[in-house]
Amino acid sequence: MKTPKIAFFDTKPYDQLSFDTINQKFNFIIQYFKNRLSSKTVALAQDYDVVCAFVNDEMDEQVIEALYQYNINLIALRCAGYNNIDLKSAYKKIRVVRVPSYSPHAVAEHAVALMMSLNRKTHRAYYRTRDNNFNINGFLGFDMYQKTAGIIGTGKIGKVLIKILQGFGMNILAYDVFPDQSFAKKNNFQYVELDQLYEQSDIISLHCPLTSQTKHLINKESLKKMKPNVLIINTSRGQIIDTKALIDALKKRQIGGAGLDVYEEESEYFFEDFSNEVIDNDVLARLLSFPNILVTSHQGFFTAEALHNIAETTLQNIQDYFEGKDLQNEICCKCEEEPTSTKKKGPCS
């Protein structure tokens, strides 16, 4: 096997550290670029065999065609989501692999952190006490014990979250297009339709992928069906929530608050430092102005264990490709059209 050359886009210091550590086992040639992959930067991928991309890299038809002309064999996503890549353009041109599971515990635990901080206002209490203000007015929360959590999406992350919340003594309602009834029976919770979940949940946590069916799943109409004090948690994908509808619901006090680790238009802002600049995105600026909104910048995955697993799986995906092995983590437009229960686990043809 020849030594693959990898063009690594949107590099942060922690990326390079974790990949360099794991690459000691693989000995690939990796060139790290700080630039995000886009039509403006795709030329950097010339003379490489593989492109390694992240959630905010843009891989539309134009970029895919350019990569194909540069003889890129493989796009290795170092993330689980793939809504930022045009799979139809890549089909039968460039193989695409991803990291479907790096640490479900990392994301589930971050969702719980958002719930607890938002509920008990610990993020606001931190700033108040730093100003020597020990007044607790406005910080009233509620016991999570015996409250109802609605989990939308019961993949690996959703299932870990269910077990954590049951440890608090919460009642669980869940929704999934492909419900795992055996898991529900074993863990004593029930699957319900979305309307029932909206109406009965005190906390709603989103753990579904972004598809044409889930885009703006949380919208003006669904928000109206929720309890007036409900907390909405999103550690999945930003576009699952219609942000303008969420802001309107917050203004009308239709909901209690939201903890967001993702945002619809996060690609221009998340993972970057704008502390000395004015945020010119009016929607994001409005979100940040609400006292009952807690925003973190897509850090749900950010644990040492997750970074290790991301690097190891990504580099193993690349090695499997060049050794001609089945690509267990491959995605393409053909297999994504099939139901989850019948999707191919091997290479796409």
So which residues are the catalytic ones? Answer: 237, 266, 298
| Both structure tokens of 254 | 């239709």
DSSP 8-state assignment for residue 37: P
DSSP 8-state assignment for residue 212: T
| Both structure tokens of 204 | 């709603």
DSSP 8-state assignment for residue 59: B
In terms of residues, how long is the chain? 349
Give the list of residues 6+ apart from residue 47 with CB closer than 8 angstroms, or none: 5, 70
User: Is residue 285 within 8 Å of 75, Cβ to Cβ?
Assistant: no
| Both structure tokens of 164 | 């954590």
| List of long-range contacts for 39-48, beta carbons under 8 Å, 24+ apart | 39/63, 39/66, 41/9, 42/66, 42/67, 42/70, 44/7, 44/9, 45/7, 45/70, 45/72, 46/70, 47/5, 48/5, 48/6, 48/7, 48/72
